[in-house]
């Protein structure tokens, strides 16, 4: 990828590319506001040039929904031209963005639905991905939430990411109540909170969830953005409804574009129609020099999907995917070559090995229908009365484990196949389950799995082009596969000569291919050989004497103030993620394939 975006995605004209970066700010911005404190000091020197700045994953410049304290610097805004080329920084302030968007508060001052909107105060403590045995210095943020009944509040997942304490305050109340995060849906950027205090719920009336609005319907956004402590109301209309890039979850789901002002602190706040029904959750904005007043709301269809998923499973399982890379069939000669008689269908260009689709779909198949709905040659399907929407919208209406009936043309023959839809397996994850990254330290050599937060924290220049290419264009060959890297070397006599090694993928240990970080830890524990031999990319080799390494480990941990040689998850028994070793013999595909959804030059993940 030529350019990437810090924990955000962008979509322009006919191209939408999901990419992440530490070097370029995104036009996509969250809408919560934060107050940062300096990073905790460490006796281990970082390799990253950004070692003294907070993690971009929780950088408030990426979260317009979290409100910074007024003493903090204003967020930097970077714009992009069409197709992703960077432009000059825009100088207008957030107040300029909303100057003409304020509605008359007197008209809705007594509206009861305003009392269901609360202010969220969150203290965040994010993991330190470069030094995975510790956490970063905590910081605070504010956002919005609203009552949905049964003692529950709804807000954005990014408002309470890496939370250590969450408090909420009702309109007109001077007390803050402790809230608990019940579940987070990272891909749809929704979180569910509960408050145990009975006093908090006295006289409370939950909001009614409305239906998907129509274009030009009036919309009112309510929340607690920058500029004051009391509730704020802005008004606009629905500008567009389509599949939208969700910056926090790096996913594509249905979104509502509005022109009502959405500012830092609005994240998690509701958007209402004229009947006082909640039609969605404010969560991000798009800012560039060429655009203005583009805000986004998570529709109630996505909210209902999230709540139903949680109720069914007792946890959030996530949105499923088909697991195929698709190409549009707009060219008549291409359709004729594939023996597609009509102007329909999309070409299966690649099937993910970890998806159930790999059992029934092949490269070269043409998908012409999904649950008996015809798929157009541009990859769209009918939507409502006279609209069309991206084909992957149909997939997003399903739940993990659901079965979809796919109509295909294979070598000119029409067929129907059934596919079980499951969440995508990311080789390089966007978010770390459990909060803290895995690691193991062997004689000062620090090993950890590659993740997008680590890439963000280390900067692309430090990670290296080859590792970035694998992160962007490789797919998991089996469930549980990870790219394990040597993050850094903690200098000691036992590892002399290896001190400058960093951010290199380790491929084998004592000649055995490494499947994931837990597999590496298991191999090291089981090793009885005299030497520990680590083979890296580009034929680099590091050899350690086993007994000397074991003797030096405690000293190294003490010198660098590290509490344990490995993360807690690696203390659990190792379970082999695959039944055989055939998948390990497969190399990276010849064609570039990304963990991300790509919609560039006619290619679309579904």
pLDDT mean over 59-65? 40
CB 137 within 8 A of CB 160: no
pLDDT given for residue 463 in this prediction: 86
The overall pTM is greater than 0.75: yes
User: Residue 30's pLDDT band (boundaries 50, 70, 90)?
Assistant: low
Which residue, among 148, 264, 276, has the nearest Cα to 220 in the 3D structure? Answer: 276
User: DSSP characters for 35-50?
Assistant: E--PPPP-SS--SSTT
Q: Judge whether residue 24 has pLDDT over 50.
A: no
Where does the pLDDT of residue 41 fall: very low under 50, low under 70, confident under 90, or very high at 90 and above?
Answer: very low
Q: Is the dihedral of CA 291, 295, 298, 300 positive or negative?
A: negative
Tokens encoding 315: 């946890």
Rg (CA), the chain: 25
Task: For residue 236, give Cα distances in angstroms to 246, 258, 285, 296.
Answer: 21, 7, 14, 12
Mean pLDDT throughout 293-317?
95
Which of the following is catalytic: 21, 267, 355, 549? 267
What structural domains does the chain harbor? 113-200 (2.40.10.10), 217-313 (2.40.10.10), 320-423 (2.30.42.10), 440-571 (3.20.190.20)
Distance CA 147, CA 113 (A): 10
The Cα–Cα gap between 210 and 397 comes to 18
Q: Which pLDDT tens digit goes with each residue over 357-382? A: 999 999 999 999 999 999 999 999 99
Q: 443: pLDDT confidence band, cut at 50, 70 and 90?
A: very high
Closest by alpha carbon to 361, among 395, 390, 319, 404? 404
Annotated catalytic residue within 11, 55, 144, 158? 158
pLDDT at 604: 52
Q: What are phi and psi of 452, to 5 degrees?
A: -65, -40
pLDDT at position 472, please? Answer: 83
Contact 496, 444 (CB under 8 A): no
Are 566 and 521 in contact, with CB atoms under 8 Å apart? yes
E strand or H helix that includes residue 513: strand 512-513
288 flagged as catalytic: no
DSSP 249-276: TTEEEEEEEE-S---TT-TT-EEE-TTS
Q: Name which of 67-76, 292-301, 521-530 the model is least confident about.
A: 67-76
Query: Any catalytic annotation for residue 309?
Result: no
Q: Number of C-alpha atoms within 13 angstroms, CB side, residue 396?
A: 24
The residue count of the chain comes to 606
Burial (Cβ within 10 Å: 0-12, 13-18, ≥19) of residue 589: middle
Distance CA 209, CA 69 (A): 32
For 98, other C-beta atoms within 10 Å of its C-beta total 21
Query: In sequence order, which residues have a C-beta less than 8 Å from that of residue 92 and are 6 or more positions away?
Result: none
* Residue linked to tokens 């013999």: 585
Known active-site residue 426: no
pLDDT, average across residues 282-290: 88
What is the rounded average pLDDT of the residues 384-391? Answer: 90
Q: Which of 128, 163, 187, 189 is catalytic?
A: 189
Got the DSSP string for 529-554? SSEEEEEEGGG-EEEEEHHHHHHHHH
Say which residues have a Cβ less than 8 Å from residue 503's Cβ, sequence separation at least 6. Answer: 47, 458, 462, 463, 464, 467, 485, 486, 487, 488
Sign of torsion, CA 97 99 101 104?
A: positive
Tokens found for residue 175: 């007390």
Cα dihedral 104, 106, 112, 114 sign: positive
Q: For Cα atoms 168, 122, 449, give the angle at the middle one, nearest 5 degrees.
A: 145
Q: What is the pLDDT of residues 124-182, one digit of tens each?
A: 999 999 999 999 999 999 999 999 988 999 999 999 999 999 999 999 899 999 999 99
Residues 545 and 565: their CA atoms lie apart, in Å, by: 17
Rounded to the nearest integer, the mean pLDDT of the chain is 81
Which residues, 6+ apart, have CB-to-CB distance to 235 below 8 Å?
101, 102, 103, 218, 219, 220, 221, 260
pLDDT category of residue 436 using cuts at 50, 70 and 90: confident
How far CA 378 is from CA of 14, 344, 586, 601, in Å, comes to 11, 8, 32, 11
Each residue's pLDDT tens digit, 76-121:
333 333 223 333 333 333 333 333 434 444 455 456 789 999 999 9
Q: Are 279 and 212 a contacting pair, CB within 8 Å?
A: yes
In degrees to the nearest 10, what's the CA dihedral of 117, 122, 127, 130? 90
Residues 223-281: pLDDT tens digits? 999 888 899 999 999 999 999 999 887 789 999 999 999 999 999 999 999 998 999 99
Residue 13 has pLDDT above 80, yes or no: no
The pLDDT tens digits of the residues spanning 444-500 come to 999 999 999 999 888 877 888 888 888 888 899 999 999 999 999 999 999 999 999
Is the pLDDT confidence value at 11 over 50?
no
Residues 6 or more apart whose Cβ sits within 8 Å of residue 317 = 309, 399, 400, 401, 423
d(CA 93, CA 317): 39
Q: What pLDDT, on a 0 to 100 scale, did the predictor assign at position 27?
A: 64
């Amino acid at each position: 990828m030529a350019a990437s975006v810090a924990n955000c995605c962008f979509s322009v004209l006919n191209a939408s590319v999901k990419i992440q970066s530490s070097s370029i700010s995104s036009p996509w911005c969250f809408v919560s506001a934060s107050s940062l404190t300096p990073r905790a000091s460490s006796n281990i020197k970082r390799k990253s040039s950004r070692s003294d700045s907070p993690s971009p994953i929780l950088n408030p410049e990426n979260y317009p929904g979290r409100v910074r304290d007024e003493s903090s610097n204003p967020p930097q805004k970077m714009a992009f031209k069409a197709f992703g080329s960077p432009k000059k920084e825009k100088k207008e302030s957030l107040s300029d963005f909303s100057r003409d968007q304020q509605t008359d508060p007197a008209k809705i001052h007594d509206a009861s639905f305003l009392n269901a909107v609360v202010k969220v105060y969150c203290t965040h403590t994010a993991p330190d991905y470069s030094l995975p045995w510790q956490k970063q210095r905590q910081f605070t943020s504010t956002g919005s939430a609203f009552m949905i009944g049964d003692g529950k509040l709804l807000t954005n997942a990014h408002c309470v990411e890496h939370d250590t304490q969450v408090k909420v305050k009702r309109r007109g109340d001077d007390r803050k109540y402790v809230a608990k995060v019940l579940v987070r849906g990272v891909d749809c950027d929704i979180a569910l909170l509960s408050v145990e205090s009975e006093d908090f719920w006295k006289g409370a009336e939950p909001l009614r969830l409305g239906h998907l609005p129509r274009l030009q319907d009036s919309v009112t956004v309510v929340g607690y953005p920058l500029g004051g402590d009391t509730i704020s109301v802005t008004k606009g209309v629905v500008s567009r409804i389509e599949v939208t890039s969700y910056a926090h979850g790096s996913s594509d789901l249905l979104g509502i574009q509005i022109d009502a002002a959405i500012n830092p602190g609005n994240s998690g706040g509701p958007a209402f129609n004229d009947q006082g029904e909640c039609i969605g959750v404010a969560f991000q904005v798009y800012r560039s020099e060429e655009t203005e007043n583009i805000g986004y709301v998570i529709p109630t269809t996505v909210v209902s999907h999230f709540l139903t998923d949680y109720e069914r499973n007792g946890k959030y399982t996530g949105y499923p995917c088909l697991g195929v890379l698709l190409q549009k069939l707009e060219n008549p000669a291409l359709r004729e070559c594939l023996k597609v008689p009509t102007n329909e269908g999309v070409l299966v260009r690649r099937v993910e090995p970890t998806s159930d689709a790999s059992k029934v779909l092949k490269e070269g198949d043409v998908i012409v229908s999904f649950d008996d709905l015809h798929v157009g040659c541009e990859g769209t399907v009918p939507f409502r009365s006279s609209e069309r929407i991206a084909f992957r919208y149909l997939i997003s209406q399903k739940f993990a484990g659901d079965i979809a009936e796919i109509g295909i043309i294979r070598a000119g023959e029409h067929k129907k196949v059934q596919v079980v839809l499951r969440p995508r397996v990311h080789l390089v994850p966007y978010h770390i389950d459990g909060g803290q990254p895995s690691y193991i330290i062997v004689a000062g050599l620090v090993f950890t799995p590659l993740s997008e937060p680590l890439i963000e924290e280390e900067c692309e220049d430090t990670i290296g082009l080859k590792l970035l290419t694998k992160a962007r264009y490789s797919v998991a060959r089996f469930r549980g596969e990870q790219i394990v890297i040597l993050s850094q070397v903690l200098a000691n006599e036992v590892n002399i000569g290896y001190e400058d090694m960093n951010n290199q993928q380790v491929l084998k240990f004592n000649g055995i291919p490494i499947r994931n970080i837990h597999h590496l830890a298991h191999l090291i524990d089981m090793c009885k050989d005299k030497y520990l031999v680590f083979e890296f990319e580009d034929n680099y080799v590091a050899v350690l004497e086993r007994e000397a390494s074991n003797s030096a480990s405690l000293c190294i941990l003490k010198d660098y103030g590290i509490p344990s040689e490995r993360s807690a998850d690696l203390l659990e028994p190792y379970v082999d993620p695959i039944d055989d070793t055939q998948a390990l013999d497969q190399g990276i595909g010849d064609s570039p394939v990304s963990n991300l959804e790509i919609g560039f030059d006619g290619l679309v993940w579904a």
